[in-house]
Amino acid sequence: MKRIIASLLVMLTALSLFSASFTDSLGRTVELPDELERIVPSGNLAQLVLYSIAPERIAGWSSKLSGSAEAYFPQDVINLPVFGTFYGKKANLNKEALMSADPDIVIDMGEVKGTTEDMIRDLDSLQNDIKIPVIFIEAYLDNTPDVYRTMGRLLDKEEKAESLAVYAEEAIAMAAEARDRITDPVTVYYSSSSDGLEAIAEGNFHGEVIEKAGGKNVVPSSFGSSSNKVSMEQLYIWDPDVILLTSEEAYEEAIGSGLWSTLSAVRNGRVYLIPSEPYPYIDNPPATNRIIGIYWLGNLLYPELYPVDIIEKTKEFYSLYYNHEITDSEAERILHI
């Protein structure tokens, strides 16, 4: 947390002063063009943040939109070139294609990868290779409002950024207030695999929304399976109050198979298929989709502590974060209501 606060102070100080330079979360001062009209995001988080605030400035994607996601994006955006990512297990950045697109800047967001020194060296090296400014903004679920305000100043889009920041701020604040009032947390099991038996353990950022909303992940952080594979016998022992599944195949198995039928969540009708259009509300990617996930899951687990109209909150989220309007009936379908 101290690192986040310190980096934000550095960024805010720089933003109040810069005209053609920016000091990013790593302490790198990068010279920028006067106008940032063509921007390339690096990674899913950066591309979804950028799309929400300035879709017209995206010069290309870091990864191709999935078929199901395409319904929420205009065709000219869908057809943008894909350059790949610089970090991660599937790092595949095409430097030549990126350079030929001639963007004004490349923006990376998320956690510091490795040490600060390692990442400074990596981004300086990339910037030197492609001759395009590269900046990094440290971003977590909790500091989402600050990320948007930083992007608003950087792109001269303060009004739009503020509306995005406030929505996130209110969700995070409601969750914090709810957690302070919870004495007996609802226990939760979450899996995104097609068989429902690959678990996300407590403390893993892929399941952060569960803990943020006030749930208790039944899979301990010390869970010993290297693949996070869970046996039915182990699931019987944990016997969660609620089961959250991303896969429709896993959901149908859970509610229809005798193997799952003795679990409390199944017997009590508390197995839920996570809304996943255009992206799952809990994870995959761990990006802006998790903001609506706080409202959705909080309202599901503790309706008295999250007294929101989830239909209206969902419509507002899609309008703000996906620049896409949905109707009440579309929201109900997405939410599986």
For 33-67, write each residue's pLDDT tens digit: 999 999 999 989 999 999 999 999 999 999 888 77
Question: Would you say the C-alpha torsion 327, 51, 62, 213 has a positive or negative sign?
Answer: negative
pLDDT classification of 253: cutoffs 50, 70, 90: very high
pLDDT classification of 163: cutoffs 50, 70, 90: very high
Q: β-strands 21-23, 29-31: how paired?
A: antiparallel
pLDDT at residue 17 is higher than 50: no
| pLDDT given at position 13 | 45
Identify the residue whose tokens are 């989709």.
Answer: 289
CA–CA distances in Å: residue 110 to residues 49, 137, 147, 162: 11, 7, 10, 20
pLDDT at residue 170 is higher than 90: yes
Q: How many CB atoms lie within 10 A of CB 125?
A: 11
Domain boundaries, the chain: 2-156, 182-335
Average pLDDT, stretch 295-320?
Answer: 98
Identify the residue whose tokens are 């992007």.
Answer: 151
pLDDT classification of 3: cutoffs 50, 70, 90: low
> Which CATH architecture group holds 182-335?
3-Layer(aba) Sandwich (3.40)
CATH topology of domain 2-156: Rossmann fold (3.40.50)
Nearest to 258 by CA among 236, 229, 230: 236
pLDDT classification of 307: cutoffs 50, 70, 90: very high
Q: In the chain, what percentage of residues exceed pLDDT 90?
A: 82
- pLDDT one-digit tens code per residue, 171-191: 999 999 999 999 999 999 999
Contact 123, 136 (CB under 8 A): yes
Tell me what the pLDDT averaged over the chain comes to. 92
Tell me the Cα Rg of the chain.
21
The reply to whether 182-335 shares the fold of 2-156 is yes
Nearest to 43 by CA among 89, 97, 98, 87: 87
DSSP structure string for 127-153: HHHHTS-EEEEE--STTHHHHHHHHHH
pLDDT at residue 289 is higher than 70: yes
Which of 30-39, 61-70, 221-230 shows the lowest per-residue confidence on average (mean pLDDT)?
A: 221-230
| pLDDT given at position 225 | 52
Nearest to 119 by CA among 104, 108, 131, 132: 108
Tell me whether residue 232 is exposed, middle or buried, using C-beta atoms within 10 angstroms of its C-beta: 0 to 12, 13 to 18, 19 or more.
Answer: middle
Average pLDDT, stretch 102-114?
Answer: 94
* pTM (predicted TM-score): 0.90
Contact 104, 39 (CB under 8 A): yes
